Amino acid sequence: MTKIEGLIAATFSTFHEDGTLNLDLVPVLVDKLVEDGLRGVFVCGTNGEGPNMTVQERMAVAEAYVKAARKRLLVFVHVGHNSIGESRKMAAHASRIGADAISAVAGFYFKPSSVENLVYCMAEIASAAPDLPFYYYHIPALTGVGMDMVDFLRLSEEQIPNLAGIKYTASSLHEYQACINYGGGKFDILFGYDEMLLSALTVGAKGAVGSTYTFAAPLYRQLMAEFNAGNLEGARRAQHLSVQMVRRLTQHSSIPAQKAIMAMRGIDLGPCRLPLKALSVFDSKLLEAGLDDIKFFETLNIVHAAKPA
């Protein structure tokens, strides 16, 4: 199977001040991501506040991204929902509109009781769009579903014909490496922790999905270029700046803080939906000052101008 190489941005929601969708911002954001050298976008996931949207809204967002991307970027549509029926509806819709792949988290209210049960659930969702690659979205810190992913791959092989791999958002690198190497490397295991990208590259990662790629892709592209060129010290410097940045944004609520950074970079994506709340003016200025202290924006502008390969 073809594996994804490069960075996929887990994009943020785009809302008007009254909380309604602002789809006019989607082409603006997509054009920026194309310019930044992204490989694709992951929409309506955690950072896109998919669980805070209605199914109809999520379908509208997916359509807007497919239309704006014009095949310049791969469009991954997250279709996870506590209702498998609603997930199937969104999966079929993603197929109809020309998305490139679908992904789904485990149910996080009534949780799967075993790996076998998880596989059955994902098979139901994936079968609604049999022509699209399906990626299980493993994010145990939010779903509370932390089952063995090697067992998941083993049991899914026969039951999910369109299984492409896993969007792996967990820090257990030993399991991540085992998934990469399962079956001779037959599945595409996309890494999901931006602040650990270099560690993932060392165990074999080729592709990654992350929220901070939406505003800092040139930094991570430089990191990957340095690693691929054998310059580990340069790659470490780039990763260290990422770690410093993430440490500062996680002093606040992570998604609102990242949307605040987007505004600092010139694209105001609007507020969040409850229970998430936009940063106050004070906290936004505090965050900006912290990023200035580490010369984040200055460095980002330099590497952007250099256009890493």
Residues tagged active-site:
137, 167
Q: Is 86 helix (H, G, I), strand (E, B) or coil?
A: helix
User: How far is it, in rounded angstroms, from Cα 239 to Cα 72?
Assistant: 27
Helix axes 232-249, 281-293, angle to 10 degrees: 160
Residue type, 150: V
Rounded to a whole number of angstroms, the CA Rg of the chain reads 18
What residues have CB less than 8 Å from 275, skipping those under 6 apart?
none
Q: For the chain, how are helix, strand and coil distributed in percent, rounded to 5?
A: 50, 15, 35
In terms of phi and psi (left: phi > 0; alpha: psi -120 to 50; beta: otherwise), the region of 49 is left
Q: Given phi > 0 = left and psi -120 to 50 = alpha, else beta, which region is 272?
A: beta
- Nearest Cα residue to 69 out of 15, 11, 13: 11
